[in-house]
Amino acid sequence: MNIYNAIKEGSKILKKKNIKFSNLDCEVLLAKVLRKQRKYLILNLDKPLNKKNLEIFKDLINQRSNGKPIAYLTKKKDFWNSEFITEEGVLIPRPDTEVLIEATIELFKNKDYANVLDIGVGTGCIILSILEEKPCFYGIGIDVSSKSISLSKLNAKKLNLENRVKFIKTDVDNFCHGKYDLVVSNPPYINSNKIRYLEKDVKNFEPKLALDGGLDGTFKILKIIEKASTLLKCNGKLILEIGYDQKNKIVSLLKKRGFYINNIIKDYAKNDRCVISTKVK
Ligand SMILES: C[S@@+](CC[C@H](N)C(=O)[O-])C[C@H]1O[C@@H](n2cnc3c(N)ncnc32)[C@H](O)[C@@H]1O
């Protein structure tokens, strides 16, 4: 079978299972099998695939048809300016989260130094993207998941940032080390009862620990606000990702705990996604 037919057949299988970008997914997976870029496929549609590569491709198509996300199959995901290693058991970085990076860069554009804490690092995508942009910032990333901590360490090494960041496996409740100019977090904020309505790829494959925000979705956010109120320096910033319908609740939680609300930023779909606040008391 040649490249053209492999993509056509693979795409047919994915389409039958209602996979949205069936053709693109096939191309990405075949490019991975052949260790080439996608454009190689387009320029070599007539090239035959050997038996071994065809078998590997079929297996990936089978996994994708069962809903496994592309980023878990290719083990990588682009986020901000870098490619992050991804792994099952750790949340895949989302484009919406890039709003937090943009906000941080704008807020700290005149600051050369800052000590940053990222709560719930996952792949490390937030803190590592900030450190890449700001060469004199230092940081700590914490997560209760040991898989997240090992993956963040790997990503830090890949991006040559290991000297400016430490990763610690701990529950946010038990962490009480240092004082910070900036706390960032994309916490689990999905209402427990709504997880079952998420897309199949997400609910069946991504870790519940990274998604589940308790009965009203704000259980973990509240923990982070409380932790930030003790670990931030006076005038330090807290930059939080929130659910599209959580703005009012989070603003009220923040104000009650002595935070001034600087700004609420929308994501690319125009949903309220990021709250920037300052510890004033
Ligand atoms: C929504 S994910 C965010 C991952 C990453 N920061 C990102 O934006 O892609 C939330 C992360 O919080 C971690 N987490 C959940 N509960 C936690 C807790 N009690 N203490 C520390 N981390 C926790 C999860 O393991 C997960 O990695």
State the distance from the centre of ligand 1 to the C-alpha of 261, rounded, in angstroms: 23
State the distance from the centre of ligand 1 to the C-alpha of 1, rounded, in angstroms: 43
State the distance from the centre of ligand 1 to the C-alpha of 210, rounded, in angstroms: 5
Cβ-contact 273, 244 below 8 angstroms: yes
Distance CA 22, CA 25 (A): 5
State pLDDT tens for residues 112-158.
999 999 999 999 999 999 999 999 999 999 999 999 999 999 999 99
Compute the C-alpha angle 123/128/131, nearest 5°.
Answer: 170
Distance CA 116, CA 32 (A): 35
Pocket test for ligand 1, best of 79, 177, 209, 241 (most atoms within 8 A of CB): 209
pTM, two decimal places = 0.95
Q: Is there an atom of ligand 1 within 6 Å of 186 CB?
A: yes
CB neighbour list of residue 15: distance below 8 Å, 6 or more residues apart:
22
Q: Is there an atom of ligand 1 within 6 Å of 190 CB?
A: no
Q: Is there an atom of ligand 1 within 6 Å of 97 CB?
A: yes
Q: How far is CA 60 from the centre of its chain?
A: 23
State the distance from the centre of ligand 1 to the C-alpha of 166, rounded, in angstroms: 16
State pLDDT tens for residues 223-267.
999 999 999 999 999 999 999 999 999 999 999 999 999 999 999
Task: Give me the amino acid identity at 125.
Answer: C
The atom of ligand 1 lying closest to the CA of 90 is 27
State the distance from the centre of ligand 1 to the C-alpha of 209, rounded, in angstroms: 7
Question: What whole-number percentage of the chain has pLDDT above 70?
Answer: 100
The atom of ligand 1 lying closest to the CA of 148 is 27
Residue 36 CB neighbour total at 10 angstroms: 14
State pLDDT tens for residues 66-107.
999 999 999 999 999 999 999 999 999 999 999 999 999 999
CB neighbour list of residue 22: distance below 8 Å, 6 or more residues apart:
10, 11, 12, 14, 15
Q: Is there an atom of ligand 1 within 6 Å of 144 CB?
A: yes
State pLDDT tens for residues 9-46.
999 999 999 999 999 999 999 999 999 999 999 999 99
Residue 173: both structure tokens together: 């409740």
Query: Fold for domain 79-279?
Result: Rossmann fold (3.40.50)
Q: Where are the domains of the chain?
A: 3-66, 79-279
Q: Is there an atom of ligand 1 within 6 Å of 188 CB?
A: yes
What CATH number is given for 3-66 in this structure? 1.10.8
The atom of ligand 1 lying closest to the CA of 79 is 9
State pLDDT tens for residues 143-155.
999 999 999 999 9
Range list of β-strands (E), the chain: 76-79, 82-85, 114-119, 137-143, 165-169, 180-185, 232-241, 259-266, 272-279
Closest C-alpha to 122, from 220, 211, 196: 211
Distance CA 71, CA 236 (A): 34
State the distance from the centre of ligand 1 to the C-alpha of 32, rounded, in angstroms: 28
DSSP string, 254-280: HHHTTEEEEEEEE-TTS-EEEEEEEE-
Q: pLDDT confidence of 281, banded at 50, 70, 90?
A: confident
Q: Is residue 249 classed exposed, middle or buried when 0-12, 13-18 and 19+ CB atoms within 10 A define those classes?
A: middle
Cβ-contact 7, 41 below 8 angstroms: yes
